[in-house]
Amino acid sequence: MSRLDDIPSSPGKFKMEKSSYLHRLRFQSSLTKFAFFSFFLLCLISLLFLRSPLSINPSSPSDPSRRSLRTNSYGGPAWEKRLRSSARIRTSTTNGITVLVTGAAGFVGTHVSAALKRRGDGVIGLDNFNDYYDPSLKRARQALLERSGIFIVEGDINDVELLRKLFKIVSFTHVMHLAAQAGVRYAMENPSSYVHSNIAGFVNLLEICKSVNPQPAIVWASSSSVYGLNTKVPFSEKDKTDQPASLYAATKKAGEEIAHTYNHIYGLSLTGLRFFTVYGPWGRPDMAYFFFTKDILKGKSISIFESANHGTVARDFTYIDDIVKGCLAALDTAEKSTGSGGKKRGPAQLRVFNLGNTSPVPVSDLVRILERQLKVKAKKNLIKMPRNGDVPFTHANISLAQRELGYKPTTDLQTGLKKFVRWYLSYYSGEKKAAAR
């Protein structure tokens, strides 16, 4: 029986005592909540301060957050000439756009940048080449893009002066914001890198965008991770996203709320894209399909997660070319921002879309496809899914993206993995040959 049940509900003295008791209880509860959120906010601010570029010891060999916070030297006539050349629209149509792609040396960023350039748009990349995974892969992507005439500026999205300079030299019509600290499990090792990049970095970019004139339209990468512990499938943009299962998911959810704020106050046109398990050539080595391939070829055992009661773990694997089509469609349908001089002049577009394949596949099936493509039998180790932020399944409802963007994924997992394996064998065999020379 609770303490409240001990208090009689009769009138007079007892009723007054009950009322007074309830008032004190509510006050104590409110005070506790206030203290908790104040403490949380103080910790967040302290974390941001301690991890800011100003707090880095220049003599230390590397920043513990694994972020390249100090921007390389930039500026000068030659540097500005490269910027303007890369940003030049080369299409004969009048619909060409000039795009700043953050995270351009990343997996999705490389493919989006190349697709924009192929159709004649102006593209400038920005990437800090951090060592979350092998930087040499990012450098290889950079070389690929530079052969297409795309200049990637080496710098951090938290570098205010660099961003100001870029926007001063080039009048960007659009920003494709893909720079982020990725990965669900790594957040348990290095949480501050997620706050620094996914929250502070995003705010810093939006601060610059709201101040320039004209303001660019912004398309940015959210994540299917925001659906967290939701059990209703398929996941719809109308579903609640208030149960993140990882810090990564929480930072992406925070990004969506921040986007709403800058849209509401400053008139920025913002479109968030919730990607569902993107895979393909030039992919990320921290993704299961990538390191499964590596370990199968090396004869190492691979760990396959099982959910509760030996349940199946499944993902809505989405091929990179389909994701790129969705990104370009979002850019092409993005309306102009409505602010100027940091002030909102009218209602601005605010959108969120799922970009998935709508066909969840068990991870065990992914492994079987890889075995066939690699012609090697995998050494499998079935283990219970750890409590590290992963979720048992993802499944995208893409009806909104189909209707508004014309988005229609066309690549099934078997076809996509065949293309990935072909690239993987070619890329890493070439790497071995180069090392042997």
Q: Catalytic residue numbers?
A: 248
- Cβ-contact 173, 145 below 8 angstroms: no
What are the backbone dihedrals phi and psi of residue 220, each rounded to the nearest 5 degrees, phi first? -140, 160
Number of helices and strands in the chain (H, E)? 13, 15
Token pair, residue 106, equals 């990343």
Strand order, beta sheet including 98-102: 151-154, 122-127, 98-102, 174-177, 217-221, 270-275, 350-355
Kindly give, in sequence order, each residue whose CB lies less than 8 Å from that of residue 424, ignoring residues fewer than 6 positions away.
281, 290, 293
Residues forming a β-bridge with 219: 176, 271
Exposed e or buried b per residue across 267-294, where buried means at least 16 C-beta atoms within 10 angstroms of its C-beta: bbbbbbbbbbbbbbbbbbeebbbbebbe
Burial status of residue 59 (CB atoms within 10 A of its CB: 0-12, 13-18, 19 or more): exposed
- Cβ-contact 385, 304 below 8 angstroms: no
**Calpha distance 250→243 (Å, rounded):** 8
- Cβ-contact 275, 353 below 8 angstroms: no
Place of tokens 């290889």: 140
H or E stretch covering 23:
helix 13-50
